Structure 1
Amino acid sequence: MRYVPYGPELEGVPNIIVDGRGNDATVLVLSHWPRNRTPPELKADSSTEIVLNYLRSPQREAYRDGAEAVSNNHYDVDGLISLWAMLNPEAVRQEAEADLLVAIGECGDFDRWSGEQATKVTCALYGLESLPSSPIRQGLAGIRDYLERTAFLYREALPLVPQLLDDIGRFEEYWRDEYRKVEAGRGLFARGEATVQEVPELDLAIFQLPHEVHDMALYEQTACSRVALVIEGHRYQARYRYESWVEIQSRRPPPRIDLRPFADLLQSFEGNPGDWAADDVQRTLPRLRLRGPEGSTSPSSITPGLFLRLLAQYLRDQASNQELLWSPHTADIEYISELASD
């Protein structure tokens, strides 16, 4: 197969789409996105694992239906590893290699520690895209169009995947700082300086933190799809994890509940400067917080106990309010098709 960038070059070309949404010429979708058209027998939590299921399937050629092109409408770690596996099926035949690819895909998409090597690879890919010293970052500087940026990232990153898998130490300058933040967060939990308490009936995990902690360290601690952060200094966040935006198969998280009415409720209690704000529940990673300068989380006058009681009560009271619920299994397809750049 060959990689063809998503956009005009892919129009009219029979293709397989990994991790995103197809176009009119797509013959097979291998994605965990909302309302995807992935064959049920191939579905899995990550798009990387879906691709591996496809590559192992005795019906592989029938699914492919002659398509030679493979693409994705956005760039991220799970998408990159999915695409690379499609282009290099012989490299993923061994169980150990396949397991590592799945771990990288899950680490990237679900922001959770997935073992040292997978986490370092994920951090390296973040660094290659974002650090000023990276040639990839430098090459992105003059590209404004989203699909052009996506194509550039794939063309630059795909050849690096074998090196990342075989010698992650070679990329230390790109993963070192991010990985240290992950390890620092894990250390807080190991020493009991950060804690988590689960409320299973609400699928809610409540974190008590001395300061903000890297997501990969947080989400290693719990499978709950709803997260409340109580950060020292009366700073609070409520979040929905990515697992409740895609169609994961290992379990089915409850629908998301729009938190914008809850933000209005909190505002009525708030005595400090700032505005309580909640992101659109249909976004990939929506958050609620008392918004300060440049989107930071500001200290609140609300006590931790009151914040948590109000949040739990809101989640209970609105659990059946269809006007506020959102699920990847019933999402508006037209809306989802516009989220490639989220």
Structure 2
Amino acid sequence: MAYSYLPFPELKKTPAVVVDSFHPNGLVLSHWRGAPVPDELREDTSAGMVLQALKQDWPELKKYHRATANHFDIDALVGVWALLNPVLAGQHEELLRQVAIIGDFRELNLSAPHAEEALQLVCWINAEEKSRFYPPFGAYELEENEVVASIPKFEFFLQAFTEVLLHPQEYRTLWQPEFEQVMQRHAQMHGPETNLTALPALGLVVLETPEPVHYYALFSRTAGFDIVLACYQDQRYEVECKYTTWVDIASRPTLPRPDLRPLARHLNSLETSGRSWAADGPTDTGPLLRLQGQELSKAQRYGNPQERPVYSSSLTPAQMVREVSAFLEEVFREVKPKKYWTWAEVREFNLNSTKK
């Protein structure tokens, strides 16, 4: 089974394994909501599904010789690379799973096998992507769309990834700066400076920590939760619906993703700082609710919290936690967690929530 990379625009004419994407002309291995993935192959990440298919020697894989994705990110890269390098992928299966989890969900678990090695690889990808190409979600500012603009990224990383996987220390100068920043902030998030309050019934975790940190550190304490209220010094806050509710999670049931815009309107009725609360819609990959300043681009919103301004509110931390919790308690009243919400169900849930 010898696979090669197929640029996504060519998928109309050439069938392929479609990783982390949708298309009828091939075998879809994607955690995108509603993707027609065989139950036996379901995992939380798309790369995990590819690794599972390779491990099981899934019969349908033999029908194809090309692999593709309609966008570049770490999960898609690992999945496509694994199909092109099945023997190496099998030898490094758990490491690659951690690369996909850290890259896609930003959940760094240093107690997981190979977590530090995985973080090194993720940081290398981030460094090279930023220096050689446009940043994640930066295609919004290009003339080309992501489907076309991502092709050179795949061509570079599919060739370069193998050497870095096998010899990461030779690329230390590239991955070390971000790696050290994450490890330092990880210590902050797991030390006495940070307080965590978990509200499992709401899928909410409240993190109180002095300053905004790298996502891999911030979300290292959020596994199993889908909504994060980050509380920083000087009454600065951000509420985020994690990417885990944009996709189909196989490992656990979830609550439907709430629309945070009604909460923003309610907070505006309480806010006296002169700034206004605003939130992204529920179909955004990672909706943020925050006090507005200069409007952020998609790339800036996707970037790490310490890279964007977070403004002080007139609301105290206790008020903020109370208002966010009360909002979620109301919208989730009589709603039970389950697996595999459809977007239609999420829309209906949010329509019903506005009527409560």
Same fold (TM over 0.5): yes
Following superposition of structure 1 onto structure 2, how do residues 154-173 of structure 1 map, counting pairs within 5 Å? 154-173=154-173
Structure 1 unaligned regions, length at least 5:
336-342
Following superposition of structure 1 onto structure 2, how do residues 191-202 of structure 1 map, counting pairs within 5 Å? 191-202=191-202
Distance 1:285 1:248 in 2: 15
Q: CA deviation at 1:281?
A: 1.0
Deviations 1:296-334 (A, max 9, x none): 321111111111101100001111599xx999621159x
Equivalent position SS for 1:257: coil
Amino acid at match of 1:108: G
Query: Contact 2:106/2:215 (CA < 8 Å) preserved in 1?
Result: yes
Q: Does 1:85 align with 2:82?
A: yes
Name the counterpart of 1:236. Answer: 237
Q: Which moved more, 1:151-160 or 1:111-120?
A: 111-120
Name the counterpart of 1:340. Answer: none
Query: Contact 1:18/1:72 (CA < 8 Å) preserved in 2?
Result: yes
Give the one of 317, 338, 343 matched to 1:304.
317
Distance 1:137 1:293 in 2: 21
Change (3 A) 1:171 1:143: farther
Deviations 1:28-87 (A, max 9, x none): 1011111101111100011111001111224x23x2362222110110001001000011
Distance 1:253 1:108 in 2: 21
Give aligned pairs, total.
Answer: 321
Distance 2:14 2:126 in 1: 31
Give the one of 332, 342, 351 matched to 1:319.
332
Query: Contact 1:237/1:288 (CA < 8 Å) preserved in 2?
Result: yes
Change (3 A) 1:91 1:14: same
Deviations 1:212-238 (A, max 9, x none): 011111221132111101110111111
Query: Contact 1:255/1:327 (CA < 8 Å) preserved in 2?
Result: no
Amino acid at match of 2:174: Y
Q: Does 1:52 align with 2:64?
A: no
Name the counterpart of 2:33. Answer: 34
Query: Contact 1:257/1:326 (CA < 8 Å) preserved in 2?
Result: no
* Identity between Structure 1 and Structure 2 (%): 30
Give the one of 96, 105, 111 matched to 1:101.
96
Query: Contact 2:45/2:100 (CA < 8 Å) preserved in 1?
Result: yes
Distance 2:258 2:339 in 1: 9
Name the counterpart of 2:5. Answer: 3
Amino acid at match of 1:45: D
Distance 2:172 2:184 in 1: 17
Deviations 1:95-124 (A, max 9, x none): xx1111111011100112141110111011
Name the counterpart of 1:289. Answer: 290
TM-score (norm 2): 0.84
Distance 1:326 1:91 in 2: 35
Query: Contact 1:198/1:205 (CA < 8 Å) preserved in 2?
Result: yes
Distance 1:180 1:102 in 2: 21
After superposition, the CA RMSD in angstroms is: 2.5
Amino acid at match of 1:14: P
Give the one of 70, 73, 86 matched to 2:70.
73
Following superposition of structure 1 onto structure 2, how do residues 85-234 of structure 1 map, counting pairs within 5 Å? 85-94=82-91, 97-114=92-109, 115-131=115-131, 134=132, 136=133, 144-145=143-144, 146-223=146-223, 224-234=225-235
Equivalent position SS for 1:220: helix
Equivalent position SS for 1:299: coil
Which consecutive segments of 4 or more residues in structure 1 shift more than 3 A? 140-144, 325-328
Query: Contact 1:74/1:150 (CA < 8 Å) preserved in 2?
Result: yes
Q: CA deviation at 1:137?
A: 5.9
Query: Contact 1:258/1:326 (CA < 8 Å) preserved in 2?
Result: no
Q: CA deviation at 1:190?
A: 3.8
Deviations 1:144-169 (A, max 9, x none): 41222211100000011111211222
Structure 2 unaligned regions, length at least 5:
110-114, 297-308, 348-356
Distance 2:334 2:151 in 1: 41
Name the counterpart of 1:25. Answer: 25
Equivalent position SS for 2:196: strand
Amino acid at match of 1:148: V
